[in-house]
């Protein structure tokens, strides 16, 4: 087995001019014999695919610090498990995208998502924190599927543990650390009514065959002693095609962005922006396109339903459009799951460091090319970075009129393999009457995608 370096490349650029080939590791149906030889019951097996992404999974960094100490550093990873298509045929795809059911949203835009594990790689030590399966553990919300889901995917944690062992061997890990049931339970949100029996099974009996030694509140497994138990998945190519992508990003801020510089305009925008938002959504519905809405968090609850009903991405545009303070944390108090963040005026402060955003479960950052230092989407520092090439601010200031501004946007689309540009709700009077024709023109030469879709493609391409 190939042993890879303990750290992944710092930057993974995404060539959207042509299909990119990411890494996916597959366990095919005939491998059941190998699991059986290691004592696993046939009913616990299902063929699946694993992706190892160089970023934190849900609460991965937070849990690692709480469980293993504040000094935890290293490279965070998330393991994402999808069941093979043949296994999922009896279920409709929408089941795997139900936001109430698949609460953590780690599906990468693909059906069949089953389970997740959080890892932190520190040299030759691999720290594990949470392992969970939304589709199994929350299936009570779709009771008509409960028996079938639990029957088909009952072995999700055993498949996940095999994937973790494979990752450890490939990265030259000597010890894998796991939380004991007590430690895992102690660091679980009590509002979710955790069941002790579940924790004893996942963080106790499932680890027992690896004969871990107890070290305080943790289990420590010597990898050398269990290498023979690994069922090595086969590396396959995951083709991601985002060629000729255009992303429209609506900075949805009403008048908040101008309160400090132009109170009169801010008051007018506060009144006009809701109607502009309604018109944008209607035009996009007629055109059959999906875009992205970067919304100021303090009024997210007022507009989110209408935006998501149109199938669009929603991300944060700060909490109150202020530059100061821990805006990402304030946003997380509004919603815990939205994966994207776009800072006001594309100004990045220390609160927008890669580690801080990753710590608060943000998966991608959309900001100007100037602030990100790139014109192409990249993955670096545990975040997907999506550059915004231009926006409609020159229309507001009078530096440009619609005709030359729109010609510049079209020129970018013709010359660049990836273009994301911003449109503000508060400046909509400058371009809204032209919006149907704008969308028609863009669709003629490119594919309109949401930022969430682009981020999912970036992460699939960055899998190790």
CATH assignment at residue 379: 3.20.20.370
Helix (H) or strand (E) holding 49: strand 48-53
My answer on whether 314 and 410 are in the same domain is: yes
| Alpha helices for 115-262 (secondary structure H) | 134-137, 146-152, 156-170, 181-186, 196-200
Q: Last residue of a domain, which of 239, 258, 280?
A: 239
Residue 445: its pLDDT value, please?
85
My answer on whether 227 and 276 are in the same domain is: no
Cα separation, 65 vs 393, whole angstroms: 42
The answer to whether residue 13 sits within a structural domain is no
My answer on whether 282 and 361 are in the same domain is: yes
- Segments in the chain below pLDDT 70: 1-18, 190-194
The answer to whether residue 7 sits within a structural domain is no
Supply 213's token pair. Answer: 């030694």
Residue 16: its pLDDT value, please?
66
294 and 277 Cβ atoms separated by less than 8 Å: no
Q: Last residue of a domain, which of 197, 219, 239?
A: 239
My answer on whether 231 and 257 are in the same domain is: no
My answer on whether 24 and 151 are in the same domain is: yes
The answer to whether residue 347 sits within a structural domain is yes
DSSP structural state of residue 259: T
My answer on whether 223 and 254 are in the same domain is: no
My answer on whether 227 and 288 are in the same domain is: no
249 and 366 Cβ atoms separated by less than 8 Å: yes
Q: What counts of helices (H) and strands (E) characterise the chain?
A: 17, 20
My answer on whether 154 and 283 are in the same domain is: no
Residue 11: its pLDDT value, please?
56
My answer on whether 203 and 254 are in the same domain is: no
Q: Which domain holds residue 36?
A: 20-239
The answer to whether residue 4 sits within a structural domain is no
Cα separation, 67 vs 180, whole angstroms: 10
183 and 68 Cβ atoms separated by less than 8 Å: no
Cα separation, 117 vs 130, whole angstroms: 6
The answer to whether residue 342 sits within a structural domain is yes
Sheet hosting strand 48-53, strand order edge to edge: 213-215, 218-222, 175-179, 125-132, 113-122, 75-83, 48-53, 20-27, 234-240
What SS3 string covers 266-301? HHHHHHHHHHHHHHHHHHHHHHCCCCEEEECHHHHH
My answer on whether 195 and 276 are in the same domain is: no
Number of domains present in the structure of the chain:
2
The answer to whether residue 389 sits within a structural domain is yes
Crossing angle (nearest 10°) for helices 435-445 and 263-287: 50
The answer to whether residue 184 sits within a structural domain is yes
Q: In this structure, is the dihedral angle defined by the CA atoms of residues 208, 212, 214 and 215, taken in order, positive or negative?
A: negative
Query: How do 48-53 and 20-27 pair as beta strands?
Result: antiparallel
Q: Last residue of a domain, which of 175, 204, 239?
A: 239
Cα separation, 59 vs 35, whole angstroms: 30
My answer on whether 191 and 250 are in the same domain is: no
My answer on whether 220 and 247 are in the same domain is: no
3-state secondary structure of 23: strand
How many Cβ atoms are within 10 Å of 85's Cβ, its own excluded? 12
The answer to whether residue 11 sits within a structural domain is no
Supply 148's token pair. Answer: 């079938």
Strand partners, 21: 239
């Amino acid at each position: 087995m190939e042993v890879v370096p303990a750290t992944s490349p710092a930057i993974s650029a995404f060539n959207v001019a042509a299909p990119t080939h990411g890494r996916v590791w597959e366990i095919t149906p005939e491998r059941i014999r190998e699991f059986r030889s290691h004592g696993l019951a046939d009913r616990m097996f299902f063929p699946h695919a694993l992706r190892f992404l160089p970023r934190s999974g849900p609460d991965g960094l937070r849990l690692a610090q709480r469980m293993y100490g504040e000094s935890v550093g290293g490279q965070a990873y998330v393991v994402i498990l999808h069941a093979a298509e043949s296994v999922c045929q009896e279920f409709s795809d929408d089941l795997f995208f139900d936001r109430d059911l698949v609460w953590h949203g780690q599906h990468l835009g693909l059906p069949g998502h089953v389970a997740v594990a959080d890892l932190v790689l520190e040299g030759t030590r691999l720290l594990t924190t949470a392992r969970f399966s939304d589709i199994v553990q929350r299936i009570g919300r779709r009771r008509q599927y409960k028996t079938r889901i639990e029957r088909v995917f009952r072995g999700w944690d055993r498949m996940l543990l095999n994937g973790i062992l494979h990752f450890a061997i490939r990265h030259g890990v000597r010890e894998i650390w796991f939380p004991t049931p007590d430690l895992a339970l102690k660091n679980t949100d009590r509002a979710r009514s955790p069941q002790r029996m579940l924790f004893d099974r996942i963080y106790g009996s499932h680890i027992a065959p690896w004969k871990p030694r107890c070290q305080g509140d943790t289990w420590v497994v010597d990898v050398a002693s269990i290498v023979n138990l690994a069922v090595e998945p086969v590396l396959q190519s995951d083709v991601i095609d985002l060629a000729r992508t255009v992303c429209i990003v609506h900075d949805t801020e009403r008048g908040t962005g101008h309160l400090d510089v132009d109170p009169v305009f801010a008051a007018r925008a506060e009144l006009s922006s809701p109607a502009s938002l309604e018109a944008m959504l209607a035009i996009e519905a007629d055109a059959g396109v999906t875009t992205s809405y970067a919304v100021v968090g303090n009024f997210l609850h007022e507009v989110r339903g209408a935006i998501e009903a149109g199938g669009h991405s929603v991300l944060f545009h700060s909490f109150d459009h202020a530059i100061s303070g821990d805006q990402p944390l304030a946003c997380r108090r509004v919603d815990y799951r939205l994966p994207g963040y776009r800072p006001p005026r594309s100004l990045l402060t220390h609160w927008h460091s890669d580690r801080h955003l990753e710590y608060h479960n943000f998966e991608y950052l959309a900001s100007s090319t100037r602030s990100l230092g790139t014109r192409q989407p990249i993955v670096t520092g545990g975040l997907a970075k999506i550059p915004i090439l231009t926006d409609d601010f020159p229309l507001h200031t009078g530096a440009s009129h619609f005709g030359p501004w729109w010609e510049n946007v079209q020129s970018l689309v013709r010359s660049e393999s990836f273009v994301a540009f911003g449109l503000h709700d508060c400046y909509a009077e400058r371009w809204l009457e032209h919006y149907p024709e704008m969308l028609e023109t863009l669709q003629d030469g490119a594919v309109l995608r949401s930022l969430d879709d682009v981020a999912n493609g970036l992460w699939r391409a960055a899998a190790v």
